[in-house]
Amino acid sequence: MITPAWDARGRRKASGEPEGTALRVLVIDNYDSFTYNIVDYLARCGAEVTVMRNDAPLDPSRVLKQSSASPDTFDAVVISPGPGSPTIPSDLGISAAVLEHAEVPVLGICLGMQAMAYVEGGKVDKAPEPVHGREDAICVTSEDPLWEGIADSFTVVRYHSLMVTEVPRCMRVTARNAEGLVMALEHKTKPWWGVQFHPESIGSEHGEQLIGNFLAIAAQHTQEPRGRRAHTQGQENLRVAQTQSVAVYELAAPEGVEPVDIFVALGGQGALMEFEGKSIIAPYTGGETISGLEDIAQSMDSYPQVSIEPNNGVTPLALPGWFGYLGYEANHSDFGSQAQAQVPASGESIKMFFAERIVVIEQGRMQLVALVPQHDAGVRALVEWRNAVMTRIRAAAPVGKFDSAAVGRLHVRESRRKYLQSIAKIHDLIGQGSTYEVCLTTQLEAEIDGDFDAPAAYKRLTEIAPAPMRSLLVLDGTHVVSSSPERFLKISQGIVSSEPIKGTRARYQDPEKDAEMRQDLATNKKDRAENLMIVDLVRNDLAHVCEPGSVRVDELCQVKTFARAHQLVSTISGKLNPSVSPVEVIRAAFPGGSMTGAPKYRTMEIIAKLEGHSRGVYSGAIGFIAVDGSMDLAMTIRTAVVQKQRLSYGVGGAIIALSSADAEWDEIATKSAPLLSLVEQNFPHEELLEHDGTRLRPALQTAPPTVVDSFLLVDGHVRGFDSHCRRFRSSCLALQTAEEEEIDRFLAAVKRELPLHGKWFPRLESLPGGKMYVRFRPAPRRRETTTLTTVMLQRGQIQHPTLKGPDLAELVKIKNTVPTDDALLVSPRGIHETTTAALLAWKNNELVSIGTERLASVTEHAIRKIAQDLGYRVTQKTYDRAALDGVELWVVNALHGISRVSELDGEPLPCDAQRLEQFRSMLAGQQQPLIGEN
């Protein structure tokens, strides 16, 4: 027998829900993260809903018979959206069998509609582009009872990479979008209806009306509604009859003393939560910590019910309870082994402790709040505690200055190169329909030298980046310093809410630029799509535990401004089912959708494979569960974690079809800004790999290289790669830094590792003794024009003019002495080159290269060949400085290509713009794809 359930995990229905007659609807959940939004709409429309996962046991031939009087049968079926393709049996599961045997009306949504068309002989293929979380206008093209009371044209939200490209003859199209894509189908002979869009999305118009129309259709097919089946409610988590009262001592908050100062004065162990203006200090005095969700649930169930009547006329601002963190992997037992990363976290996935006594500060008020023991000795101890706390608070000293020198050199766990490769894989998976959005993350890491002063770090971090959900944890060798802007979950007075953030822009000191960034965030389609997807996911999660029909979106895509960033925030809330505990709420929603993506189950499996490491504390939650069942949890972002003398700071972003790989990496750097300011370091953009004779391995740093060579790499395309390799090889051999065979093995290894995505400016490096490295650097901004200042070289200042590398330090020094973009090097022998590029001159329609001893330029060689092919005369001459006055000059190198010299020693120079653009276009056409194993 199928157990009627509000939830596939067995959660309870609404309290006091009456028995009676209602359409019984079976929802097949294809492991989507929006299914319970559909369930919520069905419940609002009066249906009794049973949800089954698509891999659950079901005999559709028995339970979907229209004429059956069995109490196990259903009046209608909804096949949910989901990841994957209808052509893959495991993606559909029992949905295919349901379509084969159902005699009752069926509504297919997204994947469900595609399945309908596919099993009837239609074709499903890739859509023109993946569209997820984006609004679109559709037009009703045929009359259909599904559209009763709905406008002929309305806005919907689409989530799909695949679509019905060939409609089977037994079905007809009832709606399309402006591009003519199929948006709705009706079967001509079976009671099947399908929609490609998501009517349950908060951004779709008429979604609840459409669901209601389907139920009306189903009611017409059902001659005798069979009524609700009797069902057994799950046992309530009743607390024991014993109650425990709360003692509250209130006084004015001491002036000039910060909450973090009090935290240290009370022992510096435990938790400090500063959530939206309320500070809670929960000292940890030893004892066991909780390391599992079940432990929390059991502890809550066994704890006496707390009386929160005003004590001496004072109502407590907050209550004692369980404080600590839930790591990202805390709820993975609910998601299966496929969602587990290969490398476990260095610490516990959950660490919480019970605090019977807390200090609360809010708006100038300070309270000492404690659970009152049920014996005289305990009462005396409580009085002693109050007196001791007051003494310590009066003696509290300001927290000292954080010593950034204690933090070693930062590096990024996943380099830019690997991060961009992961984004490319995600885009492939989105195109296949396997996911809509993936929150891809990495972590900045560093070794800690000596003691880590967590309170000082917390004080400094919250000064740098003040945020509404900040916290400090010091527990058994784990230090968590957080300045989170995002609330994950809150339970207060029977309402559960969440405030996901998706969409970030950096702040600027210039008011106009800052306002421009804010407006861009408010209107950007990509950011809105990211946020909308997570809003729909959170609505789905809360619908598991809230009263049917009570989940709502209070704020949608609102821009909120913080000290370091503008962020796009939404607020979702619902009335909590009274029989649901805080731990059940956590299980329903954890980990937060803004840190996973959607659909959650499949996407977490993708994350585990791509990231390869457990996230640990990062992207979980920090906060408390009070003894009265209230709860407040912050999302663990903008958070430094120190465990086993190692600091980590997670950063990431949502990857969708509209995401730019380079922009996502830039966002990583933006989100790292608070940590960078805290430890006084720059973002580690570069990745250095050392050749061990066979392959390339990560390296931390090297001595200055003897030989270097650089080239521009854009999405796996490079110009003159072999020429750069030959120049590097000849320089190494000339300076005897490596043998020829070693060099060739190194260059082959480099070619295999070159990234196929993103803009890069890699540098090959060689040191004496056969040591060779490749430094992967993001490509700097290319310069269209260049200003030059002449610099006269001293005799012997440049010792190896024809080799690249040995004079690098001297060239950098020269460049830094001039106020212009670059320095033009001149000697008694004439003009040479700039510190970074070759020089070309145009005289009387003749292209002239410089004949003085200098480095052979790969880019110059390519330009000379282009000029010859176009019929220009190409020569090589020696010039002194005076010969360049009033002459059109180009500086050319691998990075900038052709950059015209706009000024030489402050004097403007001419330019043939048409010729310049022609050469630039032809030079760009010489970019060749790298061939080989990458």
Closest by CA to 232, choosing from 17, 472, 494, is 17
DSSP structural state of residue 546: B
Distance CA 441, CA 616 (A): 12
Residue whose token pair is 């919250």: 462
Q: Is the peptide bond before 225 cis (omega within 30 degrees of 0)?
A: no
3-state secondary structure of 258: coil
The one catalytic residue in 120, 186, 200, 860 is 200
Is 187 marked active-site? Answer: no
Is 198 marked active-site? Answer: yes
The one catalytic residue in 45, 110, 546, 725 is 110
Cβ neighbors of 384 (< 8 A, separation 6 or more) are none
Helix (H) or strand (E) segment spanning residue 213: helix 207-221
Is 110 marked active-site? Answer: yes
Distance CA 933, CA 864 (A): 32
**Which long-range contacts (C-beta less than 8 Å, at least 24 apart) are formed by 136-139?**
136/177, 136/178, 136/197, 137/177, 137/178, 138/175, 138/176, 138/177, 138/183, 138/184, 138/197, 139/175, 139/176, 139/177, 139/178
Alpha-helical segments (H) within 612-739: 661-671, 673-679, 721-735
Task: Answer for the pair 901, 889: CB distance below 8 angstroms, yes or no.
Answer: yes
The one catalytic residue in 132, 198, 544, 566 is 198
3-state secondary structure of 932: coil
Structure tokens that stand for 612 in this block = 């390869």
Phi, psi for 865 (deg, rounded to 5): -65, -40
- Please count the CA atoms within 13 angstroms of the CA of 279 that sit on its side-chain side: 21
Bridge partner list, 140: 175
Distance CA 429, CA 435 (A): 6
Task: Answer for the pair 11, 544: CB distance below 8 angstroms, yes or no.
Answer: yes
3-state secondary structure of 548: coil
Burial class (CB in 10 A: 0-12, 13-18, 19+), 238: exposed
Cβ neighbors of 99 (< 8 A, separation 6 or more) are 79, 106, 115, 116, 119, 192
Distance CA 361, CA 250 (A): 10
Task: Answer for the pair 688, 764: CB distance below 8 angstroms, yes or no.
Answer: no
Positive/negative CA dihedral, 633, 635, 640, 646: positive
Amino acid at 300: M
Task: Report the residue count for the chain.
Answer: 934
Distance CA 517, CA 566 (A): 8
3-state secondary structure 317-345: CCCCEEEEEECHHHHHHHCCHHHCCCECC
Closest by CA to 200, choosing from 182, 218, 212, 186, is 212
Phi, psi for 284 (deg, rounded to 5): -105, 120
Instruction: Give one DSSP letter per residue of 475-536, joined into a string.
Output: ETTEEEEEEE--EEEEEETTEEEEE-EEEEEE--SSHHHHHHHHHHHHH-HHHHHHHHHHHH
Beta strand 846-850 with 873-877 is: parallel
Closest by CA to 665, choosing from 411, 418, 416, 414, is 416
Cβ neighbors of 129 (< 8 A, separation 6 or more) are 657
Closest by CA to 326, choosing from 647, 617, 635, is 617
Which residues are marked as active site? 110, 198, 200
